Amino acid sequence: MAEPARRFEIIVEPDGAGRYLQTTGADAALAGFGTKVETWRNSHVETWSSLSDAAKSWLKQRLKFCSNSPTFVNLWWADMLPVGGPVLGPYTSHDAAISAEIQWLTQNNLPCRV
């Protein structure tokens, strides 16, 4: 059975450099466009205990909650701070946080690290 077609969005800079969201199969599908120079993480999907101090601080400044509350311990957050974005969440599943992360990155033109 044939694999379903995949769609990849490539952002091409004025200097010809390109960037895209890394997904399963993206490297193979885009291999003909040239040599891949670098891969980096734009964001982090984590539970409260694994969030960076910067993400926790960002949330504490904007939300009123007790960081030790069991309500937040097992929830997922998408930390977009590395690309100048917000911390998204909370989400009840890892998949939901990943979906929000991808949606935010796509809507914001796949921003680079700040």
22-71 pLDDT per residue, tens: 777 777 777 777 777 777 777 899 998 899 999 999 988 887 665 555 56
b/e 51-76 (16+ beta carbons within 10 angstroms → b): beeebbebbeeeeeeeeeeeebeeeb
Q: CA 87, CA 20: separation in Å to the nearest integer?
A: 21
pTM as predicted: 0.77
Are 25 and 6 spatial neighbours (Cβ–Cβ below 8 Å)?
yes
Bond prior to 4 in cis (omega within 30° of 0): no
- Domain coordinates in residue numbering, the chain: 1-39, 41-114
Are 64 and 44 spatial neighbours (Cβ–Cβ below 8 Å)?
no
